[in-house]
Amino acid sequence: MQTIVTDSAKEAASYINSGKIVAFPTETVYGLGVGICYPDAIENIFIAKGRPRDNPLIVHIARPADIDSVGREIGSDARKLVKHFFPGPLTLVLKKSHTIPGVVTAGLDTVGVRCPSNPIARNFLELCLCPVAAPSANTSGRPSSTSWEAVLHDLKGKIDCILKGAPSDIGLESTIVDCSNTPPILLRNGAVTIEELLGVIPEIRIGENRHNDEPPKSPGLKYPHYAPLARILLCTSGETVIPESETPYAWIGLTQPPVAAGFALVRQCGTTVEYARVLFDFFRKCDTRGIGTIYCELPPAKGIGRAILDRITRAAESN
Ligand code: TXA
Ligand code: MG
């Protein structure tokens, strides 16, 4: 299959409107979409990514008001979250409308819904004739794509079109809140922080651990994620690092590596926001450079630091 790269939202939407598979920019990470009115074509997303079939997709809408066409019995908590955070980096899990095909939700009675704020994404979604089901546009298990070049690297020849945009502003996937029950439950940390969510819904709960034997609330959480080819080692600030690898090693964090010499790549971030933005791109650069071990400095567990902690911990578990 030939993969067209375009900066025309109109051209990209015309692919969606004929049941094709299109990657597009959002403020979190790039998405890989198919229109939900083409249930047979949704399958192509799972094939292109190598994604397990029991991991449901997020449905992307052009306007906040469109949630009423994808969800049902939407309660006051969900409405409040929409009012405060849509459009933006937040996904709400709602009871699904009967119009959502089961292949999108992996047979669940709920659906994840997001309205991105990125202007190119909004323009594109407005031109699509139905909402767009899309996971992150990366090979399953690998770091999400935060640039169109990363999408091309992973998915060239496997998808019809890539809509070009700037590198993603946030760099980590959306916050997910399950609003299908009361009180809502935070399932995934992202740029909408727990502090901000508590400001709107004080009763919100934090999702339980995902290591028990019960079916996970968010099926995707049980799979390996975000992993570069390199081994990830987590370290606390100031901890002495004694690189033990024969292969080149790299460092990413808020401070300089404690042992100055020998790092083939070093990325010192000025803020946690910057750390989030560059993390996946850094992982991919390390893979290109043949780095064997990446030392990730643990950021403070507040604000978007929680989302970074979550991703680097998952990446380390996938070693
Ligand atoms: O920022 C994002 O959320 C990006 C952009 C493209 O929107 N998308 C994204 O999709 O990260 P994905 O598929 O990589 O992650 C979606 C997560 C998965 O862990 C999936 O299990 C969960 O959302 N999810 C989707 N629908 C769900 C549902 N009905 N109930 C619980 N979890 C759900
Ligand atoms: Mg993903």
Mutate which of 91, 97, 178 for ligand 1? The one with the most ligand atoms within 8 Å of its CB, which is: 91
Kindly tell me if the per-residue pLDDT of 15 is higher than 70: yes
Per-residue confidence (pLDDT) for residue 204, from 0 to 100: 97
Q: Give residues with Cβ within 8 angstroms of 86, minimum separation 6.
A: 64, 67, 115
pLDDT score, position 214: 43
State residue 211's pLDDT score: 40
Q: Is 88 in the pocket of ligand 1 (CB under 6 A)?
A: no
Q: Look at residue 22 and give its three-state secondary structure.
A: strand
pLDDT value of residue 236 = 87
232 Cβ inside 6 Å of ligand 1: no
The structural domains of the chain, ordered by start, are 4-206 (3.90.870.10), 231-318 (3.40.50.11030)
Ramachandran region, residue 180 (left: φ > 0; alpha: ψ -120 to 50; beta: rest): alpha
pTM: 0.95
Give the pLDDT confidence of 110-133 residue by residue, as tens digits.
999 999 999 999 999 999 999 999
Q: Locate 259 and state its tokens.
A: 């042992």
Within 13 A of 249's CA, how many CA atoms are on the CB side?
20
Q: What mean pLDDT, rounded, does the chain reach? A: 93
Residue 57 CA to ligand 1 centre (angstroms): 6
pLDDT tops 80 at residue 217: no
Query: Residue 212 — pLDDT band, cuts 50, 70, 90?
Result: very low
What average pLDDT does this structure show over 258-283? Answer: 92
Percent of the chain with pLDDT over 70: 92
Residue 216 has pLDDT above 70, yes or no: no
Atom number in ligand 1 closest to CA 96: 29
Q: Nearest residue CA, atom 21 of ligand 1? A: 220
As beta bridge partners, residue 263 has 249
Question: What's the order of all strands across the beta sheet hosting 231-235?
Answer: 231-235, 293-297, 249-253, 263-268
Nearest CA to ligand 1 atom 20: 220
The predicted-structure confidence for 49-100, as pLDDT tens digits, reads as follows: 999 989 999 999 999 999 999 999 999 999 999 999 999 999 999 999 999 9
Mean pLDDT of 103-111: 96
User: Which two tokens mark 304?
Assistant: 């978007």
